[in-house]
Structure formats: C-alpha cells, structure tokens
Amino acid sequence: MYYKSLLAVAITLAATQSGIAQASVAEALEDGKMLADFRLRYETNDTDGGTKAAEAITLRSRLGYESGVYNGFKVLIENEMVHAFQDEYAALTPGFDPVADPTGNEINRAQISYAKDDFAAVVGRQRIILDNARFVGNVGWRQNEQTYDAVKLDYKTGDLSLTYAYLDQVNGILFQEVDVTDHLLNVSYKVSDAVKLTGFGYFLKNDDTDAKDDTIGASINGKASSIMYSATYASQSTDNNDATYMALELGTAISAAKVFVGHEILGSDDGAYGFQTSLATKHAFNGWADKFLSKTPASGLTDTYLKAVGMFKGYKLLGMYHEFGADDGGADLGSELDLLVAKKVGKTTSVGIKSAMYSKGDTGADTDKLWIWAETKF
C-alpha cells in the first residue's frame, strides 16, 4: 500500500461519508492556503583520514497546498526539492567527506486528514514525530526530511492522549524508500505539571530484509518547582538479540539560562548488538557530529552530557558537551562540544550558525563540522 492508494481510499471514504456537495468542496479548496519553505545552508565536514574536507551549499525548497476544512476533512500536498550550488561532498562527489544531503525531488507529503471532537486521523504520506523524536521522528535537520506512508490515528480526551500508526513505507533522508510493516503505539497521561507518564510500543519490520525489532518502554517527565526532569526505560528484542535503553536528565533555570545534565545508555547484548533507534531524529542526540548516527555500535553507547540554553538580546544560544563510551567493555568513544547561535528575523525567517567538534577516543577520527543557514517559510 503506497501513499497514492492510501489517498485514494481516504478520498473514497470522504465522499461516502459526506455525500459530497460539489459547491461545498469548492469552497473548502478556495479557503485553502499555499505552503512554502526555503532553507539555504552552507555545511562543512572535516574528518581526519584519507578524504578531503567537504563543503556543501544546498537549497531545500518545499512548495505545497493545504485545503480548508470540509466536514472535518482536509487535503495537503507538498513537493520537496534539494539543489546543490556547491557539491564538494561525498553524497555527490567521490573523494570528499560526507554530507547527508543528496540532491533530489519528491512528494514530501500527500495526505488527507480528518478531525472531529477528540479524534483525528491522517492517511497518506505524512510527517510523524512522537514525544521528543528519540524513537520516531522526521529528521528535520537534514534538507530532505524523513516522512512515512502511513495511517495515523489520534485520540485525546482531557489529559489522556493515544496515538496509533501503521507504517507501510519509510521515505528516508537520502531519498531512499524502504518497505516496512511497522506498528507504533504511544499513550500518555498528564497527571499534573510535575508528572507526565508515557508508555510506548514500536514494532518494526523491514519487508526487504525481514529484520525485526520490537521496542517497549515508558517515560516520566515534568517540572517540580525549579527542577525539570525526564527518565526513560525501554527494552528491545530482535530475532537474535536483546538490549535495553535508559536515559535520565535533570535541569534547572539559572538566571536567563536553563542548564541540564544527563546520562543516556543505548545498551549492548554482550558486545554482539547495540540498541537501535532506526526511526529517530538521531541528529538531535549523541552529538551533532553524527558519529553514531548510522548505527549504534555493537558494544552499545553511553553519553554523559551537560547542556546550557538561553536567550540573549533575541539570540538563542546553546552549548552542549558530551563524553561517549561503550556500554560493553567501557571503551572511550570520544568527546564532543556543540555550539549554536540562532535568531528569528521577522515572522517568517530565521538564521543560524552551529558547529560540532568531535575528539576521538580509543577509536574513530577527529571531526569538525560547521553549518550556516537561513530559512523562510510561510
């Protein structure tokens, strides 16, 4: 089932339920809005080794349309294109360090949504982000985001929220399409501002390789007085291995800044398998240099970090320091310093600069990365 057939089914359901009046449909289309999003970015990657330092200048362009509402239904379609003005990077030119922004053109989203009272549904190619995107996200940092051909159902009443999604295809950041049979379930309940409880089960199957992994977990987060906290535990099973995930973060406000300290463990099954998060927005975790992005090492990964974020005269400032290690064997996997300055210009535009400086441990290669960007959307 691909997104086109999903949309066809949804259109049929909409027509059947609504007893469509052409005039009303036309009004919904006229009440719609155009979507536009452009991001120009300069990126470098200088990794010690035999390849040349990479430089990329890319433009991500999204153009789309979202209709008005007709009997609870809306239609959205959006195209995405990535163009390279400078292509001295491995995705396009051999011999250079990699930048994960190949050029391409695709339908980014093509969906029909329905909402009534406490219920909502989306059918088609869509963006899905669950919780903090640690397990399921859209990888929005890359120029081509990750989307899903899926059916997603949401129910929210009071402080209780339930989400179920069936995924048929993952549309990855490298313009690759992966056939899957994935079931995602996420349930959360907000007890108070101090306590929010979440339980989740993500059951993934790659149809091409028959590889499977089932992840079941729970988290708690909230704010008590001036202390912010979050804790997560999950277990993962494949046909041959089992691994666990644990994360704890504490934070507090100091003057105009917020400071966090955290520890994350992507566990290992006796050095044979590391806990995987294949659908996550991985760039947001374990350092912006993306040294552990493609796959968690078989020895697992520990990440002890300190983060500070705040605003100064309209500028967002963020700094983060990581110490990495192996869960099994305790090897030193390096350290990293990440820095960011960003600012919103007017209502539709933002600009920023950020860097990642990774120092190798017992293995690996020193890596420096830099990004400068401007984005406008309306």
pLDDT of 139-167, one tens digit each?
Answer: 999 999 999 999 999 999 999 999 999 99
Q: Which residues have C-beta within 8 Å of that of residue 284, sequence separation ≥ 6?
A: 132, 133, 137, 141
What pLDDT shows up at residue 313?
Answer: 93
Q: What is the pLDDT of residue 7?
A: 47
Place of tokens 């219920």: 119
Collapsing DSSP to helix, strand or coil, 173 comes out as: coil
What is the full per-residue pLDDT of the chain (378 aa) written as tens digits? 444 454 454 445 455 544 455 558 778 777 899 999 999 999 999 999 989 999 999 999 999 999 999 999 999 999 999 999 999 999 899 999 999 999 999 999 999 999 999 999 999 999 999 999 999 999 999 999 999 999 999 999 999 999 999 999 999 999 999 999 999 999 999 999 899 999 999 999 999 999 999 999 999 999 998 999 999 999 999 999 999 999 999 999 998 899 999 999 999 999 999 999 999 999 999 999 999 999 999 999 999 999 999 999 999 999 999 999 999 999 999 999 999 999 999 999 999 999 999 999 999 999 999 999 999 998
Residue 3: what pLDDT?
Answer: 47
Q: What is the CATH number of the domain that holds 15?
A: 2.40.160.10
E strand map for the chain: 33-47, 54-66, 73-88, 104-116, 119-126, 147-157, 160-171, 177-192, 195-205, 212-224, 227-237, 242-254, 257-266, 301-312, 315-325, 332-345, 349-359, 367-377
Residues 54, 90: Cα–Cα separation, whole Å: 8
Nearest to 336 by CA among 289, 268, 277: 289
Would you state the pLDDT for residue 2?
46
DSSP letter assigned to residue 348: T
Tally the domains of the chain. 1
pLDDT of residue 1: 47
CB-CB contact of 125 with 107 (8 Å): yes
- The predicted model scores a pTM of 0.92
Using an 8 Å Cβ cutoff, are 179 and 168 in contact? Answer: yes
- Domain range for 328 is 3-377
